Amino acid sequence: MSEEAGWEWDFSWQGWGGLHYALVAHTAVGDPGSVLRFDEVSLAGAVGGRLEVDGANFSTSGSLTGFDDGFELRRARVRLKGGAILVVPLRYKLEFGYVPNKFNLADFYVAVPNLDYVGALQFGYFQPSMSLQILTSSWDIGLMEPAAPLQAIVPGDSPGLSAGKPWGREAGTWSLGAYGSSSAAEYGSSIKNLSTLIGRITWLPVDDRRADGAAAPRLVHLGLSGNLQLSSNGQLRFRARPESYIAPYVIDTGTISTDRASTVALEAAWMDGNLSAQGEVLQTAVEQTGVGWLHFGGGYLQLNWSATGESRPYDRQTGTIGRLRPQRDFGFGAHEGWGALELALRASYTDLSDGGVQGGRLSLLMGGVNWYLSPQLKWMFNLGSGMVHGGATPGRMLIAQLRVGVDF
């Protein structure tokens, strides 16, 4: 740490922790214990990133087309994340980079934490508070892509404002946000000219843990979320790939003109040491302009088992699942081992056909083997089978895909 003209600064590379930085200026004004901070101006955080490469091989029948074998750069991201003091304490995140065929902004927000009654007040561009698996980092969901019904129906990253906090001594969480239109998200429903109000509440009816958090978690998570979308001359589009980003979209409603729509989603998870299960069901209603109501929906059930004994952590501040960390990272030192091995299995069903909109129905069974060499390095292999029925391109598919990823 160096000091010059009232400033302190620090820049250091901390291995897999990325590049850490801190800039601090102290003043003689204000009280460090007050809500408004005039005694200090600071900016601190870390620069990190993610790189993931996918490969896939397909076998199809029926009318399915566009399934081309090959490799692609799935994600390349740069991330800045940390905290600041500028009159009030702040948290911030900026994450941007490349996904196939485009550059995108994944997160760009500022949050004021620990406010009375509302908890954290967050504004910017980020994932709305809906769906356990979508809110969980894509690195930590156990399979290469989110379940197809979530890809199709849950809104993706959007500009908005939200508030939320834990309640009941971390017995659950609540969040409420208002969001604008977004059509450029990595996945999620495409929205145009619609304003969206989204709320989510979670509860842990079972939560066995030691006070120091050292014990393997045993818990039951329940959640309810919903959205209401209103505006004149709005448009919605629901579509999904078969849980492979190299594959094309196989179910698609096309653009639906609407003035209002709503979605309700239920989520549940059970975790007991190295075994966990989770599932979600969701139903959406769309009033098609001049025609009437359409109903779409779906759900999934997923099992995860760590063969090497690790537990998937649970974040009680956000009601989401965290990163699996090997008990012993891969290596040849005295305190190193072979990393962690995890098995995953997911069944999902998505229905995008109703009335005059025949977007198709997709049934999928996807299994996976994950090798975590460390918390920042992993190798994944997924094998799946699916069927599309109804819609314009019915058929069957077999999917074999792999991913190598680094995240720091």
d(C-alpha 327, C-alpha 307), whole Å: 12
DSSP helix/strand/coil, 77: strand
CATH number at residue 249: 2.40.160.10
DSSP letters, 31-70, are -TTSSSEEEEEEEEEEEEEEEEEEEEEEEEEET------E
Residues 6+ apart with CB under 8 A from 390: 353, 358, 359, 360, 361
Q: Which domain holds residue 245?
A: 48-73+118-407
Residue by residue, pLDDT tens for the chain (408 residues) are 444 446 788 889 888 888 999 998 877 665 665 667 767 788 999 999 999 999 999 999 999 999 999 999 999 999 999 999 888 899 999 999 999 988 888 899 999 999 989 999 999 999 999 999 999 999 999 999 999 999 999 999 999 999 999 999 999 999 999 999 876 678 877 888 889 999 999 999 999 875 555 556 799 999 999 999 998 889 999 999 999 999 999 999 999 999 999 999 999 999 999 999 999 999 999 999 989 999 999 999 999 999 999 999 999 999 999 999 999 999 887 778 899 999 999 999 999 999 999 999 999 999 999 999 999 999 999 999 999 998 889 999 999 999 999 998
Look at residue 243 and tell me if it is in a domain. Answer: yes
User: Does residue 42 lie in a domain region?
Assistant: no
Q: What angle do CA 93, 97, 99 make, to 5 degrees?
A: 130
Q: What is the pLDDT of residue 340?
A: 97
- Give the distance, in angstroms, between the CA of residue 361 and the centroid of all CA atoms in the same chain: 24
CB 203 within 8 Å of CB 308: no
| Number of domain units in the chain | 1
Strand pairing class (70-99; 37-62): antiparallel
Is residue 108 in some structural domain?
Answer: no
> Looking at the domain assignment, is residue 100 inside a domain?
no
Beta strands of 289-394 (E only): which ranges? 292-306, 314-315, 320-321, 340-354, 357-374, 377-389
Whether residue 221 lies inside any domain: the answer is yes
pLDDT at position 69 is 97
Which pLDDT value is given to residue 264? 98
The answer to whether residue 15 is domain-embedded is: no
Residue 324 domain flag: yes
Phi-psi region of 45 (alpha: psi -120 to 50; beta: other; left: phi over 0): left
pLDDT score, position 3:
44
Amino acid at position 272, single letter? D
278 inside domain: yes
Phi first, then psi: what are they for 343, rounded to 5°? Answer: -115, 140
